[in-house]
A = this chain, B = another copy of it.
Amino acid sequence: MRDTALPIDDRGFSYGDGLFETILVRDGSPLLWKYHMARLQSGIERLALPRLDLAAFDSLPAQCGPGLKVLKLIVTRGSGGRGYRPPELAEPRWRWTVSAFQPSAERWFGGVNVRCCELRLGLQPRLAGIKHLARLENVLARQEWGDDAIAEGLLLDSEGSLVEATAMNLVWRRQGRLETPLLDRCGVRGTLLSALDDTLALHWLRAGLEALLEADAVWLINSVQGVWPVRRLDDSAGNCLKQWSLEANDAFRQAAHRQLGYPLNFGD
């Protein structure tokens, strides 16, 4: 159901016991739909939610109307159970909302400033990769700064390995190789990242901050915003750790924006 209130006993609300997807929709056609549905399905299996016919969602994008929209789809385990224990026969509940969306061309082509968050993500392999509703770590991390000149915050895990930004994935180029952090212990596996993994040679690895300091280009990406090249990285106290020159003809951004129908180059 669209925009409908939730009963107080919904387990998504009580415990974060559910999943969501935020999907870019252009004139009623979704981008990366197959990847969003695959991640949702993976989340359903990981949380052991009852089977759900995802085909029921196929008709939603066309109902979003003209222009660029973000369709948010939320699936929860529904109501019931005794405390944390799910009910024997859970009936999943789903809701969707639509909002207008305007991406930032300034960030695509002018790049962004990023800081390191103090918060470290806890290691939780059972939840890693999926987009579940229990996202309080991201909320706390996003509260660490209010300065609009900082577009995003980098997150390391409790052992000091790079993971992601608060709402975007992280990719860098080092010695000609495209690298991205393993998302097997925490973090969300973005759909744009998965799509690029199918088309580019992405190297998944466990690496600390030093990998970024050795990189000659760094990008933040997601399936709604597209690609933000990183211009400058600060530590959590605001001291500059490194700056990068932006590349006018950025092949990585082009590959990613092709997936989303976004402009490949400035002025396109």
- Residues of A with Cβ closer than 8 Å to B? 3-17, 20, 47-48, 74, 83-86, 95, 97, 119-124, 126-127, 132-143, 158, 166-167, 186
Q: Indicate whether A158 sits within 8 Å of B123 (C-beta atoms), given known contacts A6-B8, A136-B133, A142-B84.
A: yes
Q: Given the complex, which residues of B lie within 8 Å of A167, measured CB to CB? A: 83-84
Q: Quick check: A8 and B97 within 8 Å, CB to CB?
A: yes
Q: Quick check: B86 and A17 within 8 Å, CB to CB?
A: no
Q: Given the complex, which residues of B lie within 8 Å of A4, measured CB to CB? A: 8
Copies in the complex: 2
Taking the closest CB of chain B, its distance from the CB of A148, in whole angstroms, is 10
Of B84, B140, B186, which is within 8 A of A127 by CB? B140
How long is the Cα–Cα vector from A16 to B137 in the complex, in angstroms? 10
Q: Given the complex, which residues of B lie within 8 Å of A17, measured CB to CB? A: 135-136, 139
How long is the Cα–Cα vector from A141 to B126 in the complex, in angstroms? 10
Question: Shortest 8 CB-CB distances between A and B: which pairs?
Answer: A122-B122, A134-B134, A16-B16, A5-B5, A134-B136, A84-B142, A122-B124, A15-B135
Taking the closest CB of chain B, its distance from the CB of A186, in whole angstroms, is 7
Q: Indicate whether A15 sits within 8 Å of B97 (C-beta atoms), given known contacts A3-B8, A5-B6, A124-B122.
A: no
Q: Given the complex, which residues of B lie within 8 Å of A5, measured CB to CB? A: 5-8
